[in-house]
Amino acid sequence: MFFFCPEEEKTLFMGNFCRKPVAHVSSTSFFGTTKSQRKTKQNSSSPKQTALKTSASNVDKPISNKLKIFSFNDLKEATKNFRQENLIGEGGFGFVYKGWIDEITYAPTRPGTGIVVAIKKLKPEGFQGHREWLAEVNYLSQLHHENLVKLIGYCSDGKHRLLVYEFMQKGSLENHLFRKGVQPIPWITRISIAVAVARGLTFLHTLDANVIYRDLKASNVLLDSDFNAKLSDFGLARDGPTGDNTHVSTRVIGTHGYAAPEYVATGHLTPRSDVYSFGVVLLELLTGRRVVEDERPGFSEETLVDWARPFLSDSRRILRIMDTRLGGQYSKKGAQAAAALALQCLNTDPKYRPTMVNVLAALEALHSSNSFPRTPKSGNDNHSIKHSSHSNKSATNCNKQ
Ligand SMILES: Nc1ncnc2c1ncn2[C@@H]1O[C@H](COP(=O)(O)OP(=O)(O)O)[C@@H](O)[C@H]1O
Ligand SMILES: [Mg+2]
């Protein structure tokens, strides 16, 4: 994959961005080092080599030069000086604000006029954010797909590093799956979200550069007003193995619980690492539980995956771990098929995980089958299912209904 650097970034960041591992400071992600990390390989193909294998209809030509370059003052104005009430999210990289810009000129406008955008502002501390900022500009300026969030522009003004994206009205999947008080997402929508995420990952994995997303988690899946899902946050994405290479060796970064075990153990990254993370997100969609409920001392270290595995491998017991907030409004067959797929994705041996192409095909078949909400014969049917609690993580909103 070709990486472009804004002119002023070249001397400052390009060398480091492309070659040297740098400690990760994300609050939500972990980092570590491996023996093999020094062998980091980067593909530095020319812009002309960005040819993409997937259907041309999904992909525009590289349009990095079409991105709007904003000044810091523009974005300050668009967010009313990064006012607290416009804060819509926080990740490892920085704070995300709602802002308003003119639809045509992209000049800042008064709140409520023009178009709404999401503006991510790098946290000031640390160098790591620059790498992630640059990775996002590089990938999202070149990759265009209906299941990837659209990058409108960026700001690299003095020390300031910001990114401007299309605004995703419903925010992150994390907020809808786990937050108390939100409307539960219906089964059909959960499967549509899984299909959308699988399409986004399939698109990345079938590019010539075999792009690995590396940070799939519920907080990085964004939802528009109709619950269409898109992948956001390309800060950790990188080109995958090409030619005879089976993996790329890299520093271990990602998010606890979502990262594939072999990647955490060895630093060997492959597209199958994303497949594992996909299995975790699918499991979260089925159960309505976070992969890691609470990392405070005293809480169990058992992850959702460890806990759910025995249920997933027994099609009769699967219903016991389904999200009770679904109110039994799903078909048993559909749940069993989705759980079986999650189990395959979560195989500890990456060899036995399906490819994203296969995962997508399976989910599309499930989506188009009639495995959709079926009101239980008796309104109380779902209550007859004995639900299991997730060790001491059961004190969550999940099974309380
Ligand atoms: N385009 C967007 N529209 C709406 N909300 C967004 C958008 N981008 C990010 N967010 C919110 O901000 C949070 C953090 O964004 P993310 O891109 O993951 O940042 P980080 O790189 O710091 O992890 C997301 O989980 C989401 O709640
Ligand atoms: Mg994030």
For 336, the token pair is 């069993």
Active site residue 224: no
Q: Which of 41-45, 239-243, 316-320 has the lowest mean pLDDT?
A: 41-45
Look over the chain and give the mean of its residue pLDDT values, rounded to a whole number.
Answer: 80
Contact 92 CB / ligand 1 (< 6 Å):
yes
Ligand 1 atom nearest the C-alpha of 149 is 1
**pLDDT computed for residue 388 by the predictor:** 72
The band of 57, judged by pLDDT with boundaries at 50, 70 and 90, is: very low
CA–centroid distance, 183 to ligand 1, in Å, is 20
- Ligand at shortest distance from the CA of 232: 1
Ion ligand 2 contact residues with beta carbon within 5 A? 91, 220, 233
**pLDDT computed for residue 45 by the predictor:** 32
Contact 101 CB / ligand 1 (< 6 Å):
no
- Ligand at shortest distance from the CA of 149: 1
**pLDDT computed for residue 51 by the predictor:** 31
For residue 147, which of 95, 101, 205 has the smallest C-alpha distance? 205
Judge contact between 376 and 327, C-beta under 8 A.
no
Q: Which class does domain 171-368 fall in?
A: mainly alpha
For 146-160, the pLDDT digits (tens) are 999 999 999 999 989
In terms of average pLDDT, the best of 187-191, 366-370, 379-383, 392-396 is 187-191
**pLDDT computed for residue 189 by the predictor:** 97
Q: List where CATH 1.10.510.10 sits in the chain.
A: 171-368
Average of per-residue pLDDT across 98-123: 95
CA–centroid distance, 92 to ligand 1, in Å, is 10
CA–centroid distance, 301 to ligand 1, in Å, is 27
**pLDDT computed for residue 397 by the predictor:** 32
For 165-191, the pLDDT digits (tens) are 999 999 999 999 999 899 999 999 999
Ligand 1 atom nearest the C-alpha of 165 is 1
Model confidence at 20: pLDDT above 50: no
Assign a CATH topology to domain 38-46+54-166: Phosphorylase Kinase; domain 1 (3.30.200)
For residue 366, which of 390, 398, 332, 401 has the smallest C-alpha distance? 332
The band of 295, judged by pLDDT with boundaries at 50, 70 and 90, is: low
Average of per-residue pLDDT across 333-357: 97
Model confidence at 398: pLDDT above 50: no
Average of per-residue pLDDT across 130-150: 94
Cα-Cα-Cα-Cα dihedral sign, residues 338, 253, 301, 349:
positive
Contact 254 CB / ligand 1 (< 6 Å):
no
